[in-house]
Chains A and B, each alone.
Chain A
Amino acid sequence: MSADPAAHGVTPTGAVADSALGRVFAGYTIFATAWLVFATFVGLVVAYKFGAPDFWSSQPWLTFGRLRPIHTNDTFYGFASIALVGLAYYVAARSCRTRLYSTGLAWIGLALFNLAALAGTVALAAGDNAGDLEYREWPWPIRLIFAAGAVVTAINLLATVARRNTHDIYLSNWYTMGGALFVIVIATVGILPWYQYGLGQVAVSGYFMHNSVGMWFTPMTLGIFYYALPKLLSRPIYSYALGVLAFWTNLLFYPIIGAHHFLFSPLPWWLQTTAIVFSVAMLVPVWGGSANFALTARGRLGDVAQSYPLAFIMVGVLGYFVGSTQGTFEAFRSLQAVWHFTNFTVGHSHLTMYGFVTFGIWGGVYALLPLATGKYPSRLGMGAHFWLAVVGSFIYVISLSIGGTVQGLDWVHGKPFIQSVVDMNPYYVWRGVGGILMFLSHLVFAWNVWRMTWGRSAARLPLAPALAEGAAP
Chain B
Amino acid sequence: MHQHLTGPFWGIAAIVLIAGAITVACFAAMVWMLVRPGERRRDHPKYLVIDEER
Q: Please, how many angstroms separate the alpha-carbon atoms of A97 and B52 in the complex?
A: 8
Please tell me if A317 contacts chain B, counting CB pairs below 8 Å. no
**Which residues of B in the span 29-54 have a Cβ within 8 Å of any Cβ on A?**
29-30, 33-34, 37-39, 44-54
CB proximity of A29 to chain B, nearest CB, Å: 20
Q: How many A-B contacts at CB < 8 Å in the complex?
A: 119
**Which residues of A in the span 99-148 have a Cβ within 8 Å of any Cβ on B?**
none
Q: Please, how many angstroms separate the alpha-carbon atoms of A81 and B25 in the complex?
A: 34
CB proximity of B34 to chain A, nearest CB, Å: 6
Instruction: Give the residue among B5, B11, B48 with the most A Cβ atoms within 10 A.
Output: B48
Q: Please, how many angstroms separate the alpha-carbon atoms of A171 and B47 in the complex?
A: 11
**Which residues of A in the span 292-345 have a Cβ within 8 Å of any Cβ on B?**
292, 295, 333-334, 337
Chain A window 225-260, contacts with chain B (Cβ cutoff 8 Å), 1 for yes, 0 for no: 001001100111111111001100100100000000
Whether A170 contacts B49 in the complex (CB less than 8 A), given A242-B33, A333-B6, comes out as yes
Chain B window 4-44, contacts with chain A (Cβ cutoff 8 Å), 1 for yes, 0 for no: 01110001100110011011001101100110011100001
Give how many B residues have a beta carbon under 8 Å from the other chain's beta carbons.
33
Q: Please, how many angstroms separate the alpha-carbon atoms of A97 and B15 in the complex?
A: 45
Q: Please, how many angstroms separate the alpha-carbon atoms of A238 and B5 in the complex?
A: 44
Please tell me if A14 contacts chain B, counting CB pairs below 8 Å. yes
Is the CB–CB distance between A264 and B48 below 8 Å?
no
Residues of A contacting B6 in the complex (Cβ-Cβ under 8 angstroms): 269, 272-273, 333
Please tell me if A287 contacts chain B, counting CB pairs below 8 Å. yes
Is the CB–CB distance between A467 and B54 below 8 Å?
yes
B26 partner, pick from A13, A235, A284, beta carbons under 8 A: A284
Residues of B contacting A170 in the complex (Cβ-Cβ under 8 angstroms): 45, 48-49
Please tell me if A166 contacts chain B, counting CB pairs below 8 Å. yes
Q: Please, how many angstroms separate the alpha-carbon atoms of A14 and B49 in the complex?
A: 11
Which residue of A has the minimal Cβ distance to B31? A288
B46 partner, pick from A13, A166, A171, beta carbons under 8 A: A171
Please tell me if A95 contacts chain B, counting CB pairs below 8 Å. yes
Residues of A contacting B47 in the complex (Cβ-Cβ under 8 angstroms): 236
Instruction: Give the residue among A13, A238, A334 with the most B Cβ atoms within 10 A.
Output: A238
**Which residues of A in the span 258-299 have a Cβ within 8 Å of any Cβ on B?**
264, 269-270, 272-274, 277-278, 280-281, 283-284, 287-288, 291-292, 295
Whether A269 contacts B53 in the complex (CB less than 8 A), given A240-B39, A278-B19, comes out as no
A242 partner, pick from B19, B30, B48, B54, beta carbons under 8 A: B30
Please tell me if A416 contacts chain B, counting CB pairs below 8 Å. no
Please tell me if A168 contacts chain B, counting CB pairs below 8 Å. yes
Q: Please, how many angstroms separate the alpha-carbon atoms of A235 and B50 in the complex?
A: 7
Q: Please, how many angstroms separate the alpha-carbon atoms of A467 and B53 in the complex?
A: 11
A270 partner, pick from B15, B50, B52, beta carbons under 8 A: B15
Is the CB–CB distance between B37 and A15 below 8 Å?
no
CB proximity of B21 to chain A, nearest CB, Å: 11
B12 partner, pick from A237, A241, A245, A273, beta carbons under 8 A: A273
Please tell me if A163 contacts chain B, counting CB pairs below 8 Å. no
Whether A239 contacts B11 in the complex (CB less than 8 A), given A280-B23, A284-B27, A333-B6, comes out as no
Please tell me if A473 contacts chain B, counting CB pairs below 8 Å. yes
Residues of A contacting B5 in the complex (Cβ-Cβ under 8 angstroms): 264, 269
Residues of B contacting A292 in the complex (Cβ-Cβ under 8 angstroms): 34
Is the CB–CB distance between B19 and A240 below 8 Å?
no
Is the CB–CB distance between A245 and B19 below 8 Å?
no
Given A240-B45, A274-B15, 17 more A-B residue pairs with CB atoms under 8 Å apart are A14-B52, A15-B52, A94-B49, A95-B48, A95-B52, A166-B45, A236-B39, A239-B34, A239-B37, A240-B44, A241-B37, A245-B26, A246-B30, A264-B2, A270-B7, A281-B26, A337-B2
Chain A residues with a Cβ under 8 A of chain B: 11, 13-15, 94-95, 97, 166-172, 227, 230-231, 234-242, 245-246, 249, 252, 264, 269-270, 272-274, 277-278, 280-281, 283-284, 287-288, 291-292, 295, 333-334, 337, 371, 467, 473
Chain B residues with a Cβ under 8 A of chain A: 1-2, 5-7, 11-12, 15-16, 19-20, 22-23, 26-27, 29-30, 33-34, 37-39, 44-54
Q: 9 A-B residue contacts at CB 8 Å? A: A15-B52, A169-B45, A171-B46, A245-B29, A273-B12, A280-B23, A281-B23, A288-B30, A333-B2
